[in-house]
Amino acid sequence: MSEAKIKNVTDLTGVGPSIADKLSDAGYDTLEAIGTQSPGELSSATGIGKDTCTKFIIEARKAADIGAFLTGTQLMEKRATVGKLTTSSSTFDELLGGGVETQSITEFYGPYGSGKTQFILQLAVNAQLPVEEGGLGGEVAIIDTENTFRPERIISMAKALDLDPDEVLSRIHVGRAYNSHQQMLMVEKVSEMAKERPIKMLGVDSLTGAFRAEYIGRGNLADRQGKISAHMKELARFGDLYNAAVVVTNQVLSNPAAFFGDPTKPIGGHIVGHTSKFRIYLRRGKAGRRVCRLVDSPHLPENEALISITEDGIRDG
């Protein structure tokens, strides 16, 4: 089949009904999904031979225009569609250049109790606000790996914004992941959902907790980093494809007597750092406040904002 006519997975050379089923069962039902995989990953996920997978990937890439160059004008147009999601703190929004951006991964990292989960919950409510009010006018998916999603907290935050709490809760889709494997698969589930529902924010709380628990010791470090990196790529792709804000949390060890590593360094180190476009370091400040520091953003100065976590949610400090 000529490239111009390839519109679906079933149009790829050599894809018959049984291969199409294998691909679809493993979640590969678009050309983009196939074209952005490596042959090894695609082969192990589907049970299809690696050489055949390589052919599919090359053809899917060409057909879906993956890896093609975009002009500066096209990039400007894409950039113009970026949405900004309010954090409910005007000073923090300003620090972020207007709010949490869509088409990017924003990472909140910090020690236990620093407010990472509170930000996820607040953004999950705010994403439902209309665009004119700092929202994204959409629904939300949260991958919860630590069982920290609290509906009661959503209700308080929604009421404080004069939103109907039941409606707000009905637009937040929470998937509980019990291990890193489930966590990674859940991104596919969210992509499925996003085809039918306007998912404009995807939260992962926590991004790294399950990986840290499962890959223990130096010998497993490379493996762990590879998995986190693959997961981050899927998350970035989701944000790009659906013009959604992707917000992840990452705990740092607050115990200065920690035996291994620098206690202020986030888990996953530079792998997470390079893929997250916005990284915010949270720490406790005076009188219950939290200091939010924007760390190495590509186009914004490194700076800090002070916020409070109140009954109503996140507010200016």
Q: Is 229 in the site for Mg ion (CB under 5 A)?
A: no
Q: Is 207 in the site for ligand GTP (CB under 6 A)?
A: no
Q: Rank residues 91 and 148 by Cβ distance to Mg ion and give the closer one.
A: 148
Q: Which of helix, strand or coil describes residue 73?
A: helix
Q: Rank residues 63 and 267 by Cβ distance to Mg ion and give the closer one.
A: 267
User: Which residues does 140 contact at the CB level (< 8 Å), separation at least 6?
Assistant: 123, 124, 127, 128, 171, 172, 173, 199, 200, 201, 202, 203
**Per-residue DSSP letter, 295:** E
Q: Please compute Rg for the chain using Cα positions.
A: 20
Q: Rank residues 110 and 239 by Cβ distance to ligand GTP and give the closer one.
A: 110
Asked if 163 and 122 touch (Cβ cutoff 8 Å), the reply is no
Q: Give residues 143-182 in contact with ligand GTP (rule: CB under 6 A).
A: 148, 153
114 binds, among Mg ion, ligand GTP, none (CB under 5 to 8 A by kind): ligand GTP
Residues comprising the chain, all counted: 317
Q: What angle do CA 31, 77, 5 make, to 5 degrees?
A: 30
Q: Is 311 in the site for ligand GTP (CB under 6 A)?
A: yes
Neighbours of 182 (CB within 10 A): 15
Q: Is 183 in the site for Mg ion (CB under 5 A)?
A: no
Q: Give residues 107-136 in contact with ligand GTP (rule: CB under 6 A).
A: 110, 112-118
Cα–Cα distance for residue pair 161/168, rounded to 1 Å = 11
Q: Which of helix, strand or coil describes residue 43?
A: helix
Q: Rank residues 99 and 110 by Cβ distance to ligand GTP and give the closer one.
A: 110
Least distance in angstroms from the C-beta of 52 to ligand GTP: 43
- Range in contact with Mg ion (rule: CB under 5 A) among 39-47, 108-116, 136-144, 221-229: 108-116
Q: Is 117 in the site for Mg ion (CB under 5 A)?
A: yes
In the list 54, 90, 148, 229, the residue contacting Mg ion (rule: CB under 5 A) is: 148
Q: Rank residues 36 and 251 by Cβ distance to ligand GTP and give the closer one.
A: 251
Q: Which residues bind Mg ion (CB under 5 A)?
A: 116-117, 148
Q: Which residues bind ligand GTP (CB under 6 A)?
A: 110, 112-118, 148, 153, 251, 309-311
